[in-house]
């Protein structure tokens, strides 16, 4: 297929552990320099994009309905936090499981098709869910679920404090990121790569490839749900925006801009897109935001097919 | 007759919208033999392969493996039973290392293929076995190269090593020497001969020189149907085969034709001279 190449940093001068350490330090210092809510937004979208990238970059499956998992996680967590008073970690867990469950159902149907048909099936199913959430009595329709309480983590850490919330979100992100990294570099990940590289051959070796795609789909959906649940707590809001197909498109954009099939690409892509959105929406260019994003997308696809991280690695490889 | 058949097809038919690609084929593959499937371009050889491994579903007829009907099984299950195929174009995983290619085949029987929470280093215990298989096909020195960078002939050797990793009872090789230069052809032919010990091989092959060297039994297909069957001497003496292949009848002299070893070359000199 010629897409995604695995992101092994072995060939560059950075060892993965050193780079990870630097990034971790940055993440720990960042909330004291930048606005924590902005950072949390970046982290949530980064996790969402990383989850999406697991499917696109490492299994070669382009889902065009990933918003449904983000939104499902958000609604379930929001509803439970408002109505049952459970602790936030349980609320997030429930949202993640719900998204995983929807992922299991949708994935089962979608992996039976390939390529553009796979994308279409996921889009159709996501639209189905969108209209369901629009009508369902527990989602608040157009208003969404507002004023979702952040609650007390494990019952005693007050998450209303943005700094404490930030570190909670960071921990969630790190867990999700670690799980994706582990999945990619696991025995399962090896088979997934083989399927992406040459599906008929993988079948001839006796692998039921649809089952592997399905499991990857469920993991991806669950982690997208985790991102959605967390996002709902951060903004204290679950709304239709998160299940709309715009959101499904946005995650494609983030992943492609950052670098599909690389571990850090989606993180960089999400940071870039969220930053641009935040910057523009406040200024005079707010009305042109979609045009500007569209232009960025076009430039990326035409000029840096490997995304920011992919391009960066290429330059690094050529010059050092 | 007490034949020990490993694979049998009964009245196998595959029709594509009015075109019968495979027409009532009854194949009998004897255990432990090297069986070659030959025929002119478009005779339906690859279609038969695709039917045997269920990459295509037959229109009618059935497949028996060790006497059991496997017609309804999906491809992956057939592979699990021990019928492993190769493809006409080299079937490797280009962005995995050569070692990883073999390892991913070995991995299937490990039962950890769904373990996404484990580190891939658990697969390192398969490395010795994988190296041994690479050694068998002369690829030891390439173990850590990216498969993409291998020359074509080596990729085909890797494909055979990967197939052998599954220890198949029946290997189906689809044109294993296609697109190779003369030197590589002999290397691969010898390799096939060597690995045939203790297993059955069914191969589609255009190169009659290879067929004459390897095959115990030959089935000739023409327009989807079996034209004739037998050992090399009897098949190559059959005037219908000569006509199907060369477009000449028996009493016309066959001029020695020199052809470059292209993808579909037929080694006419060897074919006519046996």
Structural domain tally of chain B?
Answer: 2
Has residue B52 got a pLDDT over 70? yes
pLDDT at residue B257 in the model: 43
Gap between the Cα atoms of A278 and A190, Å rounded: 38
Same domain for B134 and B164, yes or no, is no
| Average confidence (pLDDT) over B142-168 | 88
A248-277 pLDDT, tens digit per residue, is 988 998 999 888 888 889 999 999 989 888
Position A9 pLDDT exceeds 80: no
Q: State the nearest Cα–Cα gap between A7 and chain B, in angstroms.
A: 12
**Domain of B253, in residue numbers:** 5-89+151-273
Please write the tens of the pLDDT for every residue from B170-223. 999 988 888 777 777 888 888 888 888 889 999 998 888 888 888 999 998 888
Which tokens is B114 given? 């769904």
One domain, residues B72 and B110: no
Residues B262 and B224 in one domain: yes
**Higher per-residue confidence, B272 vs B216:** B216
Same domain for B235 and B160? yes
**Predicted pLDDT at B247:** 62
Q: Which residues of A touch B104 (CB under 8 A)?
A: 190-191, 194, 202, 205
Question: Is it the case that residue A2 has pLDDT exceeding 70?
Answer: no
Q: For chain B, what is the mean pLDDT?
A: 82
Q: Is the pLDDT of residue B248 over 70?
A: no
For residue B104, give the nearest of A190, A200, A203 by CB distance: A190
Give B170's contacts in chain A (Cβ within 8 Å).
Answer: none
Does residue B171 share a domain with residue B227?
Answer: yes
For chain A, percent of residues with pLDDT exceeding 90: 48
pLDDT digits over A212-245, tens only? 999 999 999 999 999 999 999 999 988 888 998 9
User: If you measure CA to CA, which chain A residue comes closest to B165?
Assistant: A205
Average model confidence (pLDDT) across chain A: 87
Say what the pLDDT of residue A320 is: 67
CB burial of residue A218 (10 Å; 0-12, 13-18, 19+): buried
Instruction: Pull the structure tokens for residue A66.
Output: 């990933």
Closest-CA distance of chain A to residue B185, Å: 22
Is the distance from CB of B110 to CB of A207 less than 8 angstroms? no
pLDDT digits (tens, 9 = 90+) for B250-263: 454 444 444 444 44
β-bridge mates for residue B228, sequence order: B220
Do B13 and B81 fall into the same domain?
Answer: yes
Most B CBs within 10 A among A1, A112, A201, A317, hence the mutation to make, goes to: A201
Pick from A174, A214, A273, A240: which is nearest to A63 by CA? Answer: A214
Overall size of chain A counted in residues: 320
Matching residue, tokens 């709304």: A239
Q: Give pLDDT tens digits for B82-96.
A: 899 888 777 899 989
- Put simply, the answer to whether A204 touches B79 (Cβ < 8 Å) is yes
Comparing C-alpha atoms, which of A234, A235, A308, A300 is closest to residue A269? A308
A191 touches chain B (CB under 8 A): yes
Q: Are residues B216 and B259 in the same domain?
A: yes
Q: Is the pLDDT of residue A156 over 70?
A: yes
Tell me, yes or no, if B138 comes closer than 8 A to chain A by beta carbon. no
Q: What is the ipTM of this complex?
A: 0.78
Q: Say yes or no: B9 and B142 in one domain.
A: no
111-130 in chain B: CB under 8 A from chain A: 112-120, 122-123
What pLDDT shows up at residue A95? 95
How confident is the model at residue B268, as a pLDDT? 40
Q: Sorting pLDDT into bands at 50, 70 and 90, what band is B265? A: very low
Contacts of A205 in chain B (CB under 8 A): 79, 84, 104-105, 108, 162, 166
In the predicted model, what is the mean pLDDT of residues A147-168? 84
Indicate whether B189 and B266 sit together in one domain.
yes
Same domain? For B160 and B247 the reply is yes
* Partner-chain contact B108 A193, CB within 8 Å: no
pLDDT at position A154: 86
Do B155 and B126 sit in the same domain of this protein? Answer: no
**What pLDDT was estimated at residue B2?**
59
Is B50 an interface residue toward A (CB < 8 Å)?
no
Averaged pLDDT for residues A8-32 = 70
What is the model's pLDDT at position A276? 86
Looking at per-residue confidence, does A102 or A312 come out higher?
A: A102
From chain A, the residues in CB contact with B114 under 8 A are: 187-188, 211-212, 215
Which chain A residues are within 8 Å of B53, Cβ to Cβ? 204
Q: Which of B75, B84, B112 comes nearest A187 by C-beta?
A: B112
Q: Hey, where are the domains in chain A?
A: 35-245
What pLDDT sits at residue A15? 58
Compare all CA atoms of chain B with the CA of A186 and give the residue at the minimum distance: B120
Which region among A58-62, A155-159, A195-199 has the lowest average model confidence (pLDDT)?
Answer: A155-159
Which domain-ending residue is among B122, B149, B176? Answer: B149
Which residue of A205, A208, A215, A260 to mutate against B (max B Cβ within 10 Å)?
Answer: A205
Chain A residue closest in CA terms to B119 = A186
Distance from CA of A95 to the nearest CA of B (A): 21
Q: Determine the Cα–Cα distance for residues A150 and A88; give it in Å rounded to an integer.
A: 7
Q: What is the mean pLDDT of residues A8-14?
A: 43
Residue B23 CA to residue B221 CA, distance in Å, equals 10
Helix extents (H) in B145-254: 152-165, 182-195, 208-214, 232-237, 239-246
Please enumerate in sequence order all residues whose Cβ is within 8 A of that of A187, keeping only pairs 6 or more positions apart, or say none. B107, B110, B112, B113, B114, B115, B116, B118, B120, B122, B123
Q: Report the C-alpha gap between A245 and B146 in whole angstroms.
A: 39
Q: Do B171 and B82 share a domain, yes or no?
A: yes
- Asked whether the beta carbons of A220 and A228 are under 8 A apart, the reply is no
Token duo for residue A179? 């799980």
Output the CA torsion B166→B172→B178→B184 (10° steps): 50
Contacts of residue B128, Cβ cutoff 8 Å, sequence gap at least 6: none
Please name the residue that has the structure tokens 């060897």: B270
| Number of neighbours of residue A142 by Cβ within 10 angstroms | 8
Outline where B53-151 has alpha helix (H).
75-81, 98-107, 127-136
Q: Calculate Rg over the CA atoms of chain B.
A: 19
The Cα–Cα gap between B236 and B231 comes to 8
Chain B neighbors of A203, CB-CB under 8 A: 55, 75-76, 79
CB A77 within 8 A of CB A92: yes
Q: What pLDDT, on a 0 to 100 scale, did the predictor assign at position A157?
A: 80
Cα separations in angstroms, A313 against A24, A36, B256? 20, 29, 56
* pLDDT for B153: 81
- The CATH code of the domain that includes B161 is 3.40.50.300
Q: Does the structure show a pLDDT above 80 at A186?
A: yes
């Amino acid at each position: 297929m010629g897409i995604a190449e695995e992101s092994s940093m072995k060939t560059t001068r950075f060892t993965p552990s050193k780079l990870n350490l630097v990034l971790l330090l940055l993440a720990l210092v960042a909330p004291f320099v930048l606005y924590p809510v902005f950072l949390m937004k970046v982290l949530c979208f980064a996790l969402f994009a990383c989850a999406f990238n697991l499917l696109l970059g490492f299994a070669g499956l382009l889902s065009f309905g990933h918003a449904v998992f983000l939104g499902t996680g958000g609604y379930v967590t929001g509803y439970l936090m408002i109505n049952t008073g459970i602790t936030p970690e349980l609320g997030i867990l429930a949202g993640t499981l719900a998204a995983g469950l929807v992922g299991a159902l949708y994935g089962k149907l979608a992996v039976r098709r390939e390529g553009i048909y796979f994308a279409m099936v996921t889009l159709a199913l996501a639209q189905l869910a969108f209209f369901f959430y629009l009508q369902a009595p527990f989602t608040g329709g157009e208003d969404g679920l507002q004023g979702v309480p952040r609650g007390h983590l494990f019952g005693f850490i007050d998450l209303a404090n943005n700094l404490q919330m930030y570190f909670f979100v960071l921990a969630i992100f790190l867990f999700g990121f670690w799980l994706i990294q582990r999945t990619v570099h696991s025995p399962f990940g090896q088979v997934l790569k083989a399927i992406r590289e040459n599906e008929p051959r993988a079948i001839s070796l006796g692998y039921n490839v649809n089952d592997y795609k399905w499991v990857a789909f469920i993991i991806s959906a669950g982690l997208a749900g985790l991102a959605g649940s967390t996002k709902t707590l951060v903004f204290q809001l679950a709304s239709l925006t998160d299940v709309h197909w715009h959101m499904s498109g946005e995650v494609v954009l983030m992943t492609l801009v950052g670098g599909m099939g690389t571990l850090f690409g989606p993180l960089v892509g999400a940071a870039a897109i969220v930053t641009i959105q935040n910057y523009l929406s406040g200024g005079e260019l707010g009305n042109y935001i979609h045009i500007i994003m569209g232009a960025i997308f076009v430039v990326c696809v035409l000029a840096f097919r490997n995304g920011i991280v992919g391009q960066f690695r290429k330059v690094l490889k050529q010059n050092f | 007759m007490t034949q020990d058949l490993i694979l049998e097809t009964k009245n196998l038919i595959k029709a594509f919208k009015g075109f019968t690609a495979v027409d009532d084929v009854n194949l009998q593959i004897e255990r432990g033999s090297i069986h070659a499937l030959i025929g002119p371009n478009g005779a339906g050889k690859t279609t038969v392969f695709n039917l045997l491994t269920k990459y295509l579903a037959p229109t009618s007829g059935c497949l028996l493996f060790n006497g059991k009907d496997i017609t309804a099984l999906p491809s992956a299950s057939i592979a699990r039973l021990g019928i492993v195929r190769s493809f006409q174009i080299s079937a490797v995983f280009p962005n995995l290392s050569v070692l990883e290619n073999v390892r991913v085949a070995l991995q299937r029987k490990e039962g950890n293929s769904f373990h996404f929470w484990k580190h891939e280093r658990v697969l390192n215990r398969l490395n010795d076995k994988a190296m041994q298989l690479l050694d068998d096909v002369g690829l030891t020195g390439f173990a850590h190269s990216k498969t993409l960078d291998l020359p074509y002939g080596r990729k085909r050797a890797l494909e055979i090593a990967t197939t052998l990793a599954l220890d198949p009872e029946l290997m189906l090789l689809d044109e294993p020497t296609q697109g190779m230069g003369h030197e590589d052809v002999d290397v691969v032919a010898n390799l096939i001969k060597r690995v045939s010990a203790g297993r059955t091989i069914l191969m589609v092959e255009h190169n009659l020189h290879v067929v004459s060297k390897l095959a115990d039994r030959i089935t000739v297909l023409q327009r989807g149907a079996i034209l004739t069957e037998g050992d090399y001497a009897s098949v190559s003496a059959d005037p219908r085969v000569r006509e199907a292949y060369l477009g000449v009848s028996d009493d016309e002299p066959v001029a020695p034709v020199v052809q470059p070893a292209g993808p579909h070359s037929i080694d006419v000199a060897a074919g006519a001279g046996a």
